[in-house]
Amino acid sequence: MIGKLQKTFWMAFLPVLTLVLIFSAQRSNAQSSTPSQKTGKLTVKITGIRNTDGNVRVALRTDENTVVDARVVAIDPKTLTAEAVFDNLAEGNYGVAVIHDENKNEKLDFNEVGIPLEGYGHSNNPAKRPGPPDFNETKFMFAVPSTTITINLVYWP
């Protein structure tokens, strides 16, 4: 029963995560700046990467369904970390979703009972549990001139 419930929950979450992590995401009006709007640099440091296979996909969001920018970044083989930098970002609330795309298929893979096979993480590092966190758990206030956040990836055994 638990396996079926987890699979159902993750399968409902997969389309949202896939949308969030699409590399060709369109920039939202929320990110475009006006001359009077303050902008700065957001640095996202990703830790806890288990190997150097594949790459890391990072999506910057303003809500559950709006991706304002997405990046694919390389893994540093010496430190097993990665970093994404978003420049000219307007002040405001954002959330970041990350996957370790070990097989470079541009999505988070799951086993037959719905457990993720690859690493994932979110801003504010919500606790590991079946299913995705709510966007409100992951949002943070970006303030200029710069903000740095660290996301520690989660892997299921």
Domain annotation covers residue 140: yes
Give the pLDDT confidence of 81-104 residue by residue, as tens digits.
999 999 999 999 999 999 999 999
What is the per-residue pLDDT for 153?
98
CB neighbours of residue 138 within 10 Å: 21
What is the per-residue pLDDT for 74?
98
Cα(109)–Cα(7) distance, integer angstroms: 12
What is the per-residue pLDDT for 23?
41
Domain annotation covers residue 157: no
Task: Say whether 46 sits in a helix, a strand or coil.
Answer: strand
Domain annotation covers residue 31: yes
Domain count, the chain: 1
**Residues 142/143/145/146 CA torsion (nearest 10 deg):** -40
3-state secondary structure 127-141: CCCCCCCCHHHHCEE
Cα R_g (the chain), whole angstroms: 15
Domain annotation covers residue 7: yes
Domain containing residue 17: CATH number: 2.60.40.10
Domain annotation covers residue 81: yes
Residue-number span of the structural domain to which 130 is assigned:
2-152
Domain annotation covers residue 74: yes
Low-confidence residues in the chain, pLDDT < 70 = 1-36
Contact 137, 93 (CB under 8 A): no
What is the per-residue pLDDT for 72?
98
Please state the pTM of the whole predicted model: 0.80
What is the per-residue pLDDT for 3?
58
Domain annotation covers residue 127: yes
Domain annotation covers residue 50: yes
- Cα 18 to its chain centre, rounded Å, is 10
